[in-house]
Structure 1
Amino acid sequence: MDKKSILTGLRANHFRHPLDLQATESLKQLPGLGLAIRTLLRPTAEQFFYLENIATSVLVGPHQLPAIYGLLEEACQVLDIEPPQLYVKQHPVPNAYTFAMRGKQPFIVVHTSLIEFLNPQELQAVLGHELGHLKCDHGVYLTLANLIALAASHLPLGPVLAQNLQSQILEWVRCAEFTCDRAALLVSQDARVVASVLMKLAGGSPTLSPQLNLDAFLSQANAYEDLSHDQLGAFLKQIRAQELTHPVPVLRAKEITQWHGTLDYQKLLETCSIQYNNDSTKGGWRNW
């Protein structure tokens, strides 16, 4: 793709998934949420995680892994967001995550094992997904929700309350992931790139990833959706989902492919975008 759209003036609600909107509103209705935000999210925690990353990970920048830094800068331009810190961490489990409390010192961490089986476009889609968490202030609510659940376990009727909170929290997290997949698509502007990331997370490795067939994986997603037509299948899917922090990869691939084909997605690109050529961007993909 020679050109990509920068979404000037992009706001979170321009691409937020309807399920995320609904789940976030429900989360805000939890009793004592405002007080918890003021008292539980203290600067001490931010400083702790900052020191942990500086001590044990590699901070990416113009002079440290500049090609990856270029992907981050470009993704931030597309989503109209200030670049957070980006760390690469040695870890055998493929993963990436975001941390932000009160919007201060936000950072993204990407594990080396994830980088090893993604191409540059796919890695940038992952960065776009994580930037979506920051754009939508998910990090604050996720951290807060975990702290509330921990505190609930020490209260009278704690186990019952904690279980109820955990259920609400996991439902919110799963819905938030759909929104961040949309952010990944806005950055990559290619649904197959995002779906390929999900396929590799489901069954990829440095040796297997080049052999994977994306069309077959998308057909697998259709087969998963067909299970909903059967009452038992729909029930089993619902029970399984309640235990997960993320929607299953095939469902996410199906969801983002469908959104890519909607008028909402096309109108968003048309109304918020200006065009630029990737070859002129700092860092660039060609340096990988």
Structure 2
Amino acid sequence: MNSEALKIHKKKFPNINPNSWEHPTDKLALSALQKMPGFDTLLKFIISNTTEKSLRMMTLASSVRVNDLQFPKVYELLIEACQIFDIKDIPELYISQSPVLNAGAIGVERPFIVLNSSMVETLNQEELLTVIAHELGHILSGHVLYHTLLQVLLKLSIMDIGIPLGKTAILGLIMGLKEWERKSELSADRASLLASQNPETCIHLLMKIAGGGMIEEMNLGEFLKQAEEYERQSGFMNKTHKFLNTVFESHPFPVTRIAELLKWVQSGEYENILNGNYDNSPLSEDNAKTYSFQEDFKDYTDPINEKVKDATDFVKGILNKKSFE
């Protein structure tokens, strides 16, 4: 991790509710998921305090707990991110040895964050703050319970442990959880932008996730051309391949995530929150009732839309950085 100090004064959001930034498809997909037959039965059967205790013990034994004596600079970033979101109960943070650029938040009553060591080695401090904020976004939105359910279910589904549901029903719930999981990442990406308060930081982070740490070898315009090429792949067989390539992914593709963040900035909602105008009202139950996975599935099996075509010009306009010229 680069050693530069955090010099940018960040705006803070006292008493902010995650409803103010969550992606609409996230909450609606979760509401639809909760109505799927067998979901409550599965949740009660698998998730309990012992589940969290087992996960915490495994992490405690195999990873490094971050505090003021271990990875103190990372700990400062955790404190900084919690202050931005007005989080009083600071979650535990661990660093786990892995070459994969990834992080996660798991748990039930007391969620905790795990950063892969490659994140600390590859990202600068602003980017690492953005990752931590992304995971805090999952915690604030209550995603971690369902992420934990999915991780446990994926490990146990191949074993006969007496789950009181048929294999077809379990597979359907896994598919539903994976579909929602991808949407939940779009909400957490918005939280990461609110913490970094710099779209360039979020974009560079997603480019590094796609291509590694050599950001100087990448170009946003060329990166987004890949998105256009992907979009042009139409027809039954290509859409089938897109579905199969996406269906078990935990995250939307990086180009999709960049496009969604840019749309959010363009909408003005991001700027409103920065100015302290955030809406804490819950999702309308009427809207939740009208949602179905099928109606929204096309957005994620064929994810790049028309707005990505002019995203490069928009980024140049809001960032005006040499790296995008």
TM-score range, shorter chain: 0.7 to 0.9
In 2, Cα distance between equivalents of 1:156 and 1:144: 15
In 2, Cα distance between equivalents of 1:192 and 1:100: 31
Give the secondary structure class of the aligned counterpart of 2:68.
coil
Task: Map 1:77-92 to 2 at 5 A.
Answer: 77-81=83-87, 82-92=89-99
In 2, Cα distance between equivalents of 1:98 and 1:90: 16
User: Alpha carbons of 1:221 and 1:125: their partners in 2 closer, same or farther (altered >3 Å)?
Assistant: farther
Task: Map 1:123-202 to 2 at 5 A.
Answer: 123-147=128-152, 150=156, 154=160, 158-202=166-210
- 1:90-131 per-residue CA deviation (whole Å, 9 max, x = no partner) reads 222222111121x32x21111111221111111111111111
Amino acid at match of 2:217: Q
In 2, Cα distance between equivalents of 1:76 and 1:157: 40
In 2, Cα distance between equivalents of 1:22 and 1:239: 23
**Conserved 8 A contact 1:8-1:272:** no
Give the secondary structure class of the aligned counterpart of 1:271.
coil
Aligned-pair identity (%)? 35
Query: What's the offset of the Cα at 1:266?
Result: 1.3
In 2, Cα distance between equivalents of 1:38 and 1:161: 15
**Conserved 8 A contact 1:19-1:175:** yes
Name 2:290's counterpart in structure 1. none
In 1, Cα distance between equivalents of 2:35 and 2:151: 16
- Flag structure 1 segments of 5+ consecutive residues without an equivalent: 274-288
Match of 1:237 among 234, 242, 249: 242
Query: What's the offset of the Cα at 1:236?
Result: 4.2
TM-score by length of 2: 0.74
Amino acid at match of 1:269: L
In 2, Cα distance between equivalents of 1:113 and 1:153: 32
User: Alpha carbons of 1:32 and 1:203: their partners in 2 closer, same or farther (altered >3 Å)?
Assistant: same
User: Alpha carbons of 1:221 and 1:10: their partners in 2 closer, same or farther (altered >3 Å)?
Assistant: farther
In 2, Cα distance between equivalents of 1:126 and 1:117: 12
- 1:234-285 per-residue CA deviation (whole Å, 9 max, x = no partner) reads 5543443223221111111111122122221111221259xxxxxxxxxxxx
Query: What's the offset of the Cα at 1:76?
Result: 1.2
Name 1:286's counterpart in structure 2. none
User: Alpha carbons of 1:6 and 1:125: their partners in 2 closer, same or farther (altered >3 Å)?
Assistant: same
In 2, Cα distance between equivalents of 1:94 and 1:146: 18
**Conserved 8 A contact 2:96-2:114:** yes
Q: 23-32 or 125-134: which moved more?
A: 23-32
Give the secondary structure class of the aligned counterpart of 1:261.
helix
User: Alpha carbons of 1:161 and 1:238: their partners in 2 closer, same or farther (altered >3 Å)?
Assistant: same
In 1, Cα distance between equivalents of 2:275 and 2:215: 34
In 2, Cα distance between equivalents of 1:42 and 1:14: 29
Amino acid at match of 2:83: Q
Higher strand residue share? 1
Query: What's the offset of the Cα at 1:173?
Result: 0.6
Match of 1:51 among 53, 57, 62: 57
The structure, 1 or 2, with the larger RCO (C-alpha pairs under 8 Å, 6+ apart) is 1
User: Alpha carbons of 1:201 and 1:151: their partners in 2 closer, same or farther (altered >3 Å)?
Assistant: closer
**Conserved 8 A contact 1:153-1:159:** no
Amino acid at match of 1:141: Y
User: Alpha carbons of 1:148 and 1:60: their partners in 2 closer, same or farther (altered >3 Å)?
Assistant: closer
Name 2:212's counterpart in structure 1. 204
TM-score by length of 1: 0.82
**Conserved 8 A contact 1:7-1:272:** no
Query: What's the offset of the Cα at 1:89?
Result: 1.4
Name 1:283's counterpart in structure 2. none
In 2, Cα distance between equivalents of 1:45 and 1:163: 21
Name 1:227's counterpart in structure 2. 232
Name 1:5's counterpart in structure 2. 11
User: Are positions 1:250 and 2:255 aligned together?
Assistant: yes
User: Alpha carbons of 1:231 and 1:9: their partners in 2 closer, same or farther (altered >3 Å)?
Assistant: farther
Name 1:264's counterpart in structure 2. 269
User: Alpha carbons of 1:163 and 1:56: their partners in 2 closer, same or farther (altered >3 Å)?
Assistant: closer
Query: What's the offset of the Cα at 1:58?
Result: 1.4
CA RMSD in angstroms comes to: 2.6
**Conserved 8 A contact 2:146-2:177:** no
User: Alpha carbons of 1:10 and 1:211: their partners in 2 closer, same or farther (altered >3 Å)?
Assistant: same
User: Alpha carbons of 1:153 and 1:64: their partners in 2 closer, same or farther (altered >3 Å)?
Assistant: closer
